[in-house]
Amino acid sequence: MTDIGIETLRSIHKMLLIDEPWTVWGERRFSWIGHRLAADVEASEPFMSRGMLVCRLTTTILVVEDVRAAQDMAEAAMADLNQWASNGTFIYLADTLSVRMMFSNIVHSETTGWRPTEHATAHILSLAITEREVDALAERLGGKVAQWSHPLSGPRRTPDELLNVVEQLYAPAGVEPSRFADANEMHGVEEMARATGGIGVTLGRFADGISIEVAFGKADTTLIDMVTSVIHPLLGHGLSVLTTTRIVKSYAEACRIANQLNVIQFAPGNVMSALGAWYVRTIGEDHYVAHVRFIPNLYFTPGYAVTCGTEAIDQAIWVDQVMHPDLPERFALPVVNDRLRRNGLPEVS
């Protein structure tokens, strides 16, 4: 029987034209050095989820070692970096005094046609962005760049051309208007939300996107904003998916919780894709724990906004379960309608 994880690893390596002299293979993983940092891709053992055999792919890049900054300063640095997350999240690990960049995807028989490509593309973009950020981050944290030497080829002096993807591909595509600013795309997201049967509730589209609410706590909701007018500082136009919880804390405490959520979403047994990052969204004087993922123009394919919206709903359900493990599964529809009634507005059917 074909091992979906091993096959996907081989597919990613071949797709990216990664050079073998800078690769180290393991039993269910490979590591590749593009310049200074090593990007490791690991495939879990296949396991059953929702009646389907799946595999979890995880990319990990060790970024900074020997961090000397205090934990609260390191967690604040993660929140700053993660506000523009595309695929991976920067995570501070206090037990090893290190920073990693990580993201993961779930692969199964119904996604093998496109998920490996998505992961491979995200793999290179994440490594390219991390190579850009690592020097400033190491200086800010009082640590050192986690430079890696290949056991046979040694250190890589000249960066691989793949690391130029931001300048050569993403930035030029990002100059164009958002490819997701299409009525069909947002209509597809709206239909998807309404088809959840009240798990996700939308009051409809607005000029540059759509909002969806998902139950959070006993009588509140998490807000998902999918917006096409946000401009990423490196990647330009695309689609911003921002999930804001009702977790309001001091800035330091919000940074701590966001970092913890980024850590535990990669725990063994988690069957959700982990794309984007938890960070801190400040509105006025309030600091909210939020999740963000920016999807660049180059990722656009018809219907991909629906996939991103579905994954955002899964993220909102997941964080509710983490923060309120004793509460049963709930629907957002009664909460939203109760709020509308109190404000004298018509209910959502």
Summarize pLDDT for 203-234 with one digit per residue, the tens. 888 889 999 999 999 999 999 999 999 999 99
- pLDDT of 157 > 60? The answer is yes
- pLDDT of 301 > 60? The answer is yes
What is the DSSP code string of 50-118? TTEEEEEEEEEEEEEES--S-HHHHHHHHHHHHTT-SS-EEEEETTTTEEEEEEEEEEETTTTTTHHHH
Share of the chain above pLDDT 70, in %: 100
Q: What pLDDT score does 1 carry? A: 56
Q: What tokens appear for 208 in the block?
A: 């540059």
Distance of CA 94 to the CA centre of its chain: 21
Amino acid identity of residue 39, one-letter, is A
CB 69 within 8 A of CB 257: no
More confident residue, 112 or 306: 306
Q: Could you tell me the domains of the chain?
A: 1-172 (3.30.1460.10), 176-349 (3.30.1460)
CB 41 within 8 A of CB 123: yes
- The three-state secondary structure class of 303 is coil
> Which stretch of DSSP H or E encloses residue 38?
strand 38-43
Predicted model pTM = 0.93
Could you report the per-residue pLDDT of 16-45, keeping only the tens digit for each? Answer: 888 888 999 998 999 999 999 999 999 988
Could you report the per-residue pLDDT of 95-143, keeping only the tens digit for each? Answer: 999 999 999 988 887 777 788 888 889 999 999 999 999 999 999 999 9
